[in-house]
Structure formats: C-alpha cells, structure tokens
Amino acid sequence: MMDLEITVDQLKSQLASEHPPLFLDVREPWEYTTAHIEGSTLIPMNEIPGRAHQELDEDAPILVLCHHGARSLSVAAWLRQQGFDKAQSVSGGIDAWSCSIDPTIPRY
C-alpha cells in the first residue's frame, strides 16, 4: 500500500506528470482565497463526508492539501477508510509548498 503522506517535492512531480492526480484542498474558502495552488479543487474538510462519494473517484489517486498537514492527514485517513485507497496527504501543507517550492504563494 502507498504511503499515507507525500512531500511537497513529490507533489510537484506528480502535478507535472502526464496524468496528474486529483489535487484536493480541504482548507476553508477564506484560506483558499488567501493562498492556493493552481489546479487544486476546494472541498472544505467539514464537507468531505457529504461530498466524497458523489464527487471523488475511489479508484483515482487523490492528493490532499491543507495549511500545515494535520487536516489533510485526517481527511486522507478517512478517505482510505471509505475505500479511496490512493488518497495521500501532503506533509507540511501549503506552508511547506510556499517555503520550498513556490515563494510567490503567500504564507499566513
């Protein structure tokens, strides 16, 4: 089974691949407006239980992002319990992305 967490470097590689995974941002709308990565889909954490089975593909790779990695880890673990076996959390969240990959993304 694949790791529950990936690094921001792995995220960058996967997003640049020929078949990028679903990139799921689970932060609040105000956080997404403040800073987000192009190509991400916003579904706030509290909406995941009601929307996951309608909007997400159980067979597709799903990379989950939040601010620092705690919410995304919870969501990825929950998704796996629901049968989304390829869900992974981005360790360090958008803050790590801003520090290591793209400093133009605002930190908050």
Single out the catalytic residue among 11, 22, 65, 66: 66
66 assigned to active site: yes
Question: Could you write out the DSSP letters of every residue in the chain?
Answer: ---SEE-HHHHHHHHTSSSPPEEEE-S-HHHHHHS--TT-EE--GGGHHHHHHHHS-TTS-EEEE-SSSHHHHHHHHHHHHTT-TTEEEETTHHHHHHHHT-TTSPP-
Catalytic residues: 66
